[in-house]
Structure 1
Amino acid sequence: MKTRKKILKNAFLISLFSTVCVAGTVLINSITKNKIIYQKEQEKKILLQQVIPKQICQRFTKKLYKIKNKFLGNNKTHNLWLLFSIKNNKPEAAIVETTAPDGYSGSINMLVAAYFDGKIIGVRVISHKETPGIGDKIELSVSNWIKIFTNMRVSSIADKNFLLKKYGGKIDQFTGATITPQSVTNSVKRTVVFIKTIPSIFHFFNEHVYDN
């Protein structure tokens, strides 16, 4: 009888210990996950401020939409901020979260801002897994390469200016790397082509997901 009680007691203690451990792990994971999400959102806010210069941003108000489009690199839902002119309350430009799916080491996530006529306001990289010292030159903190797109204009998806110089375009490559810069360049071009279509599809937009 005593042996049975002892076994039950030990089983209860082990069960209790396991429950406490699991609960602790879940709690720590939840806290850590929330902190990571918060940190990423703060970083995104900083990038939003960088992709639109202050003197330009002051001319607009922003409104957030959710969008799906094949030109944005995958089938996921992306954030899209429409920029409405303060003067007439009409949308004139957009900032879009987009993805270059074919980076050298995986997907490259970016913010691309452009006017509806195809003129680029700015581009910034949100996250990537490119090789340190080579592919990471797409980060503004590493080099100014990403600024090359500012004020360029995309005419169409066949615009040959958006090729590396070695292929006859206007975009500089990195020493020892061509896949990363061309991947980013292709994504920027596709995203701006999409932004140019917004005036014709804007009436479909709502604050949920517009899938096209």
Structure 2
Amino acid sequence: MFKKILKNAFLISFFSVISISSTIFINKITKIKIASQKEEERKFLLEQVLSPTVLNQFEIKLYQIKNKSLGNDKNHNLWLLLNKKKEARAAVIETTAPDGYSGSINMLVAAYLNGKIIGVRVLDHQETPGIGDKIELAISDWITKFSNMYISSPEDKDFLLKKYGGKIEQFTGATITPQAVTNSVKRTVIFIKNIPSILKFLNKDVYEN
């Protein structure tokens, strides 16, 4: 009887060890897979606004930030681009235009710290098909017109739609959508220009201002 109990206890212990080991192994594999997926997502996002040349030129560090100029009170990813001397030279930020015609427009904005725009891409939106969806690169090249533009200040009058005296083209039949995107890009680039003043605070889990 004692031998039978001992045998059963051994079998239970053995299978428990196997089960725990399997769980730990699967968990480790899952974490590696998730980390790999996140890295692929990061690379995909950055490649939307940065050329391979720019990507290879800088070291990239990811931070979390929260600022109303980015369109809402949520956490936003900020990728800081550092040169070989570890000096910040540019940034890519996930930002939101909250005032699109049909709702929020989520975007990526990349710019140098001097205010020169590297690129802008729309991540998702609910704008009207055939009109407001021209902000998508797959629909038109309108969004590429921001590249290489400079923003000098929040009062930069050039960074307005032509309808309002600026230099940015609007769409035929749509004003609200392109103006919402334009305003958001301007606010985001102004935030990027101010990054040098908050660099020492970016080591926090989430920088909030």
Give the TM-score, by structure 1 length.
Answer: 0.78
Q: Where does residue 70 of structure 2 map in the other structure?
A: 72
Going from structure 1 to structure 2, the CA distance change for 1:185 and 1:82 (only over 3 Å counts) comes to: same
Q: Where does residue 49 of structure 1 map in the other structure?
A: 47
Q: Note the alpha carbon deviations across 1:171-211, whole angstroms, 9 max, x for none.
A: 10001000000000000000000000100110011151000
Q: Where does residue 199 of structure 2 map in the other structure?
A: 202
Q: Where does residue 18 of structure 1 map in the other structure?
A: none
How far apart in 2 are the matches of 1:57 and 1:134?
33
Q: Any unmatched runs of 5+ in structure 2?
A: 1-35
Cα RMSD of the aligned pairs, angstroms, is 1.8
Q: Where does residue 82 of structure 2 map in the other structure?
A: 84
Native 8 Å contact 1:44 1:126 kept in 2? no
How far apart in 2 are the matches of 1:182 and 1:80?
23
C-alpha displacement of 1:44: 6.3
SS in 2 for 1:50: helix
1:178 equivalent in alignment to 2:175: yes
C-alpha displacement of 1:147: 0.5
Aligned partner letter, 1:59 = Q
Q: Percent identity?
A: 69
Where in structure 2 are the equivalents of 1:1-212 lying within 5 Å? 45-85=43-83, 87-212=84-209
Q: Which stretches of structure 1, 4 residues or longer, exceed 2 Å deviation after superposition?
A: 38-47
Native 8 Å contact 1:84 1:92 kept in 2? yes
Going from structure 1 to structure 2, the CA distance change for 1:131 and 1:173 (only over 3 Å counts) comes to: same
SS in 1 for 2:134: helix
Aligned partner letter, 1:50 = Q
C-alpha displacement of 1:88: 1.2
Aligned partner letter, 2:168 = I
How far apart in 1 are the matches of 2:47 and 2:169?
25
Q: How many residues align?
A: 174
Native 8 Å contact 1:64 1:207 kept in 2? no
C-alpha displacement of 1:41: 8.8
How far apart in 2 are the matches of 1:94 and 1:109?
17
Going from structure 1 to structure 2, the CA distance change for 1:40 and 1:180 (only over 3 Å counts) comes to: farther
SS in 1 for 2:63: strand
How far apart in 2 are the matches of 1:206 and 1:161?
35
Going from structure 1 to structure 2, the CA distance change for 1:178 and 1:74 (only over 3 Å counts) comes to: same
